[in-house]
Amino acid sequence: MKKILLIALIFSASINGFSQDAGQHGEESNSSAVVTNVPNGWVKYKSEELAVTAIFPATPKESVQKVQTAVGSLDMHMVMYAPLMSGDDNAVYSLIRSDYPEEQFKDADQEKQSSILDGAVEGAVTNVNGTKLSDKKIKLNGYPGRSIKIQTESGYIYINAYLVENVMFITQVITMPSNDGNKSIRRFMDSFDILKVK
């Protein structure tokens, strides 16, 4: 399990363009997120502060990790549920938000946005020493994104990454080979929404 969580954090760092000396200590967030029950025992997570909503199998934990990047120290907001021996089909469900300095993305056209997402995808695959099995361009609320599936030696990582102006949003599910393709993967990934429309 520790190795899987480490893969999740490594991916999070790579897709956000973080350097290798990312901070190791996360802090619990004091956000005003709202968690409500939805059918089938899952819970709806909504945070106005992070401008996101998604459903999780159970109440997720929030944390903020300071990471050092080429553009300075950034806050990586993580919302994660990692079932421990609960009979869940997956090992990790997470969503991540990282804000970059606005000047870095001023006048970013479609080509630059695509290049940023390309670099994030390739960095993620390399950092987990994985094999990219699929890679699709997607959109959410008019914003560009990528949907990828990576195979690692211990399982599969499903990732959706969206670039909203100077903010990167990431959702990911990590699953074991024996549970690949289970319904909970799509249920979580498809539930994610950004509280902003282009």
Q: In whole numbers, what is the pLDDT of the chain averaged over residues?
A: 82
Given a contact cutoff of 8 angstroms between Cβ atoms, the answer to whether 94 and 80 are in contact is: yes
% the chain with pLDDT above 90 = 53
- The arithmetic mean of pLDDT across residues 82-99, rounded, is 89
Write 176-183 long-range contacts (CB < 8 A, 24+): 176/90, 176/91, 179/89, 179/90, 180/155, 180/156, 182/89, 182/90, 183/89
Given a contact cutoff of 8 angstroms between Cβ atoms, the answer to whether 14 and 126 are in contact is: yes
Q: Where are the alpha helices (DSSP H) in 16-109?
A: none
User: pLDDT, tens digit, for every residue of 21-74?
Assistant: 333 334 444 455 667 777 688 999 999 999 999 999 999 999 999 887 767 788
- How many CB atoms are located within 10 Å of the residue 39 CB? 6
pLDDT (0 to 100) of residue 23: 35
CATH classification of the domain holding 71: 3.40.1000
Counting the structural domains of the chain, the total is: 1
Predicted confidence (pLDDT) at residue 14 exceeds the cutoff of 70: no
pLDDT (0 to 100) of residue 162: 94
Amino acid identity for residue 184 in this structure:
S
| Beta partners for residue 168, in sequence order | 98, 163
Tokens 């939805």 map to which residue? 38
pTM > 0.85? no
Tell me the residue range of the domain where 21 lies.
2-194
pLDDT (0 to 100) of residue 22: 35
Q: Where are the alpha helices (DSSP H) in the chain?
A: 2-15, 110-127, 183-191
pLDDT (0 to 100) of residue 11: 47
Between the alpha carbon of residue 57 and those of residues 37, 67, 86, the distances in Å are 10, 28, 11
